Structure 1
């Protein structure tokens, strides 16, 4: 296995969408289970979830405040085996055109649950950093690894990539960790700051400080 990290392109989006849908599947992820409740009864809706993930990641790729990278395995003909999405605010980029509106979500999508999730996350940004929210940190929005490629250190490679570049910018790193993800972030130097309940499950607001 020879893993390298590079910035993502449009050609990577199908693989990213599939990985996101599999790594954060409603059967294993509490947030996805609330956003796509019907999926638990009808597995044929998996295609709708992949399509929604594709639309979201397409918007992220064109956002001036997002940086998406992929981990590729050279031993698997450069197969995309994981991805990370960072929110990296830039005053210069704020004047660039914003991504166009996305197509409507699939019928299985719970709009109210998604709005509740966004409100919880936004509130944590304000609690952590005040009025400017995440504009002065590198925010890890997503880190996903192909379930068939997990437990090979790919997540840490992706995480280290972002941490290194945030350090170069002299910016702290921030994330909201799931219970399953918390051990990786703790081992990498993130400090637990506060518990954030999301849909009845304790998530963890965490910070890695470069500015001391």
Structure 2
């Protein structure tokens, strides 16, 4: 069952979002959305339209998909982004507003946790970032994550830039295989906001390629 890498299109966004729901429903989505089944139809439509707008108009964001060519099914997706100027770096540190499905008392400190770590670790250095790589659980260990990771690393290496990401416990071993180093553990206690459990993520950096 060969796998094929290609840019994500506007028509692919629903499949991409379904994969994200399947991959992150038990951790990240518990923080971002107060509904147990993910975003409401209204918020779903807003997110879908936002992704489509980024695909069409943001020249610094790159949405990718991995497709099983035997079935035509999209099994994984990711967003890569590059920040080259101080303006772009500072804009990335701005906190996004919560959705109408979100609890602001939970959303805002979580987003601040991520932003503060990024600012502390990367400062104002230019870098590539791998954002929310997700593989459908039914297709783990087929190499889709590696394909999506390598795409951005090749571009970061060509520019001589570092690479940053926030890894889940499951994803960390893959990223370590490709040279990422764990820098800081980010812990978020859902119990403080009426939920259960502590979610942990690892801020990781891959050094720029030596010339």
Q: Which runs of 5+ in 2 are unaligned?
A: 89-95, 190-197
1:174 aligns with 2:167: no
Q: 2-side partners of 1:36 and 1:53: how far apart?
A: 12
What is aligned with 1:75?
A: 70
How far apart are 1:52 and its partner, in Å?
A: 5.3
2:58 paired residue number: 63
Structure 1 residues 44 and 190: CA distance shift in structure 2, 3 A: closer
Conservation of the 8 A alpha-carbon contact between 2:19 and 2:76: yes
SS of match in other structure, 2:35: helix
Residue in 2 aligned with 1:140? 130
Structure 1 unaligned segments of length 5 or more: list them. Answer: 95-101
What corresponds to 2:122 in structure 1?
129
Aligned alpha-carbon RMSD (Å):
2.7
- Normalising by the residue count of structure 1, what TM-score does the alignment of the two structures yield? 0.79
Quote how far apart the aligned CAs of 1:211 are.
3.9
Structure 2 distance, partners of 1:89, 1:136, is 5
Partner of 2:32: 35
- What is the SS of the residue equivalent to 2:70? helix
Q: TM-score, normalised by structure 2?
A: 0.79
Tell me which residue corresponds to 1:98. none
CA shift digits 1:189-211 (9 cap, x unpaired): 21111222233333211111124
